[in-house]
Amino acid sequence: MSGNGGASLTEELLNWAGVTMHPHRFGGLEFQLNGNEIGHLHGNRLFDLLISKTERDRWQGRIICIPNRAGCPFI
């Protein structure tokens, strides 16, 4: 993402049915689907997305995907 990619991502996510935005417990913005966190945005450039390990492994190498800290389900 360049510039204000976070605003574009926020706009896109809020267009998804059932997705709501909330303050994240460590700062930034949290996105929830049916009351469950699906990801959170740090500033305008870093988005942590909650996906399964299988899905993470499938996408890694196909997009810019950096695993989060060990044991964390976010990428």
Compute the distance between CA of residue 13 and CA of residue 35 in angstroms, rounded to an integer.
14
Which pLDDT value is given to residue 22? 95
pLDDT at 64 over 50: yes
pLDDT at 36 over 80: yes
Confidence of residue 26 (pLDDT cuts 50, 70, 90): confident
How is the chain split into domains, by residue range? 5-59
Cα separations in angstroms, 70 against 35, 41, 49, 67, 73: 25, 19, 15, 8, 9
One-letter-per-residue 3-state SS of the chain: CCCCHHHHHHHHHHCCCCEEEEECCCCCEEEEECCEEEEEEECCCEEEEECCHHHHHHHECCECCCCCCCCCCEC
What's the predicted TM-score (pTM) here?
0.68
